[in-house]
């Protein structure tokens, strides 16, 4: 009975009693080396257009490799065999790289993206999803935005807001805990104190109002 091959990785499945005295060589080249390729192998090349990955039973090929390392080019489409498979994709091309079986859904990686895609049925490819609900967690160590669709840090937004009002608003460094005030012409930072002209003494103000109310009441009673 001749050897057969596994579906996804195309490994050499030797029949009992076959390859007498040579099975070790076949096992090393047709199974163990190919498993290593499937777990850690990479297809590394530039891509500008279309690429159909090679697929060979029981021997080294491109489609079996774990990683698709696109090192440059303008991007394009990579067609892979229609079997269940997980790929790690790095796109260093200037355009998008699309992974497809030639049918069904495709997985697209924009220029500069790195990620995984998976075909559960040998037809459709799906990318690892980008989370949209962070459950209150904060994104930290984010770089300064360069494109209109980039996220922005608090420091960047604060800096831009004050820079846009340069000459009208004072700078922030060294003014933590102070409040923004104006004399009608120029804005500045001030300290919150009871002697500040914008803040009156609450107790005195309430006493003055109470006295005024009493006078009003007495005058009203006298007029009756």
Distance CA 46, CA 78 (A): 12
Tens digit of each residue's pLDDT (9 = 90 or more) over 121-172 = 999 999 987 666 667 778 788 888 888 888 888 877 777 766 656 556 676 7
User: Is a pLDDT exceeding 60 seen at residue 25?
Assistant: yes
Element (H, E) at 48: strand 48-52
169's CB contacts (< 8 A; 6+ apart) are 162, 180, 187
- For a pLDDT cut of 70, what percent of the chain falls above it? 87
Distance CA 79, CA 72 (A): 18
Please state the rounded mean pLDDT for residues 12-20.
78
Q: What is the pLDDT of residue 119?
A: 97
Q: What is the pTM assigned to this prediction?
A: 0.59
Tens digit of each residue's pLDDT (9 = 90 or more) over 162-221 = 665 655 667 677 778 788 787 777 778 887 765 555 455 666 777 788 888 888 877 777
Please state the rounded mean pLDDT for residues 20-30.
80
**What value does the mean pLDDT of the chain take?**
84
Distance CA 6, CA 84 (A): 12
Q: Taking the domains of the chain in order of start, what are their residue ranges?
A: 4-127, 154-190
Residue with tokens 């997985």: 107
Retrieve residue 16's tokens: 């009992």
**Complete DSSP assignment for 127-190:** EPPPP---TTPPP-SPPPP-STTS---HHHHHHHHHHHTBTTB---TT-TT-EEEE-SS-EEEE
User: Is a pLDDT exceeding 60 seen at residue 45?
Assistant: yes
Sheet strands side by side (includes 107-109): 48-52, 75-79, 97-100, 107-109
Residues 106 and 80: beta-carbon distance below 8 Å: no
């Amino acid at each position: 009975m001749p050897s057969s091959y596994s579906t996804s990785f195309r490994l050499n499945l030797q029949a009992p009693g076959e390859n007498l005295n040579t099975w070790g060589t076949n096992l090393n080249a047709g199974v163990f080396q190919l498993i290593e390729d499937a777990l850690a192998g990479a297809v590394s090349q530039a891509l500008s257009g279309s690429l159909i990955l090679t697929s060979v039973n029981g021997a080294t090929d491109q489609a079996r490799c774990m990683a698709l390392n696109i090192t440059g080019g303008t991007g394009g489409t990579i067609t892979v065999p229609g079997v269940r498979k997980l790929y790690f994709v790095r796109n260093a091309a200037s355009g998008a790289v699309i992974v497809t079986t030639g049918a069904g859904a495709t997985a697209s990686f924009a220029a500069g993206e790195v990620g995984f895609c998976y075909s559960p049925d040998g037809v459709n490819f799906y990318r690892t999803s980008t989370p949209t609900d962070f459950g209150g967690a904060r994104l930290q160590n984010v770089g300064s935005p360069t494109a209109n669709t980039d996220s922005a840090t608090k420091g960047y937004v604060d800096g831009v807001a004050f820079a846009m009002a340069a000459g009208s608003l004072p700078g922030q460094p060294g003014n933590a805990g102070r409040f923004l005030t104006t004399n009608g012409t120029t804005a500045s930072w001030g300290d919150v104190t009871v002697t500040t002209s914008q803040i009156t003494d609450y107790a005195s103000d309430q006493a003055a109002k109470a006295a005024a109310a009493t006078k009003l009441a007495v005058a009203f009673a006298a007029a009756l």
